[in-house]
Amino acid sequence: MPFDIRSDAFTTAIPADSRLEEIAGDFGFTEGPIWHPTENWLIFSDIQKSRQYKWRPSADLEVFRTPSNQANGNFFDRQGRVISCEHASSQLVRHEHDGKHVVPIATHYDGKELNSPNDVVCDSQGRIWFTDPSFGRIREELGVLREQELPYQGVYRLDPDGTLALVADDFQQPNGLCLSTDESRLFVNDSWGGHIRVLDVTDDGALSNSRVWAEVTGDGEGVPDGMKTTTEGHILCNGPGGVHLFDAEAECLGVILTPQKSTNFCFGGPELRTLFITASTSVYRIETGLTGLAMF
C-alpha distances (whole Å) from 294 to each of 91, 184, 185 are: 25, 17, 18
Q: What is the pLDDT of residue 100?
A: 76
pLDDT at 179 over 80: yes
Find all residues with CB under 8 Å of 127, minimum gap 6, and list them: 157, 158, 159, 160, 205
Query: For residue 22, what pLDDT band results from cuts at 50, 70 and 90?
Result: very high
C-alpha distances (whole Å) from 41 to each of 27, 61, 207, 252, 284 are: 19, 10, 33, 30, 14
Question: Does 92 fall in a domain?
Answer: yes
- Residue-wise pLDDT for 224-244, tens only, equals 999 999 999 999 999 999 999
What is the spatial distance between Cα 70 and Cα 139, in angstroms, rounded to a whole number? Answer: 12
pLDDT at 214 over 70: yes
Domain that holds residue 241: 3-287
Q: How many CB atoms lie within 10 A of CB 219?
A: 10
Question: Does 295 fall in a domain?
Answer: no
- Residue-wise pLDDT for 265-296, tens only, equals 999 999 999 999 999 999 999 999 999 999 99
Q: What is the pLDDT of residue 1?
A: 58
Question: Does 292 fall in a domain?
Answer: no
Find all residues with CB under 8 Å of 139, minimum gap 6, and list them: none
Find all residues with CB under 8 Å of 59, minimum gap 6, and list them: none
Spatial contact of 260 and 243, defined as CB atoms under 8 Å apart: no
What is the spatial distance between Cα 120 and Cα 179, in angstroms, rounded to a whole number? Answer: 11
- Residue-wise pLDDT for 78-135, tens only, equals 999 999 999 999 999 999 976 679 999 999 999 999 999 999 999 999 999 999 999 9
Overall residue count recorded for the chain in this entry: 296
* Beta strands in 116-241, from DSSP E residues, in sequence order: 120-122, 128-132, 153-158, 164-171, 174-179, 185-190, 195-201, 207-215, 227-229, 235-239
Question: Does 293 fall in a domain?
Answer: no
What is the spatial distance between Cα 213 and Cα 229, in angstroms, rounded to a whole number? Answer: 14
Spatial contact of 21 and 286, defined as CB atoms under 8 Å apart: yes
Give the residue-averaged pLDDT of 210-231. Answer: 97
Residue 43: which CATH number?
A: 2.120.10.30
What is the spatial distance between Cα 173 and Cα 282, in angstroms, rounded to a whole number? Answer: 24
Full-model pTM:
0.97
Find all residues with CB under 8 Å of 168, minimum gap 6, and list them: 154, 155, 174, 188, 199, 207, 210
Question: Does 296 fall in a domain?
Answer: no
Number of domains in the chain: 1
DSSP string, 97-128: TTSS-EEEEE-EETTEE------EEE-TTS-E
As to burial, measured by CB atoms within 10 angstroms (0-12 exposed, 13-18 middle, 19+ buried), residue 287 is: middle
Find all residues with CB under 8 Å of 17, minimum gap 6, and list them: none
Question: Does 294 fall in a domain?
Answer: no
Question: Does 111 fall in a domain?
Answer: yes
Q: What is the pLDDT of residue 97?
A: 76
Q: Average model confidence (pLDDT) for the chain?
A: 97
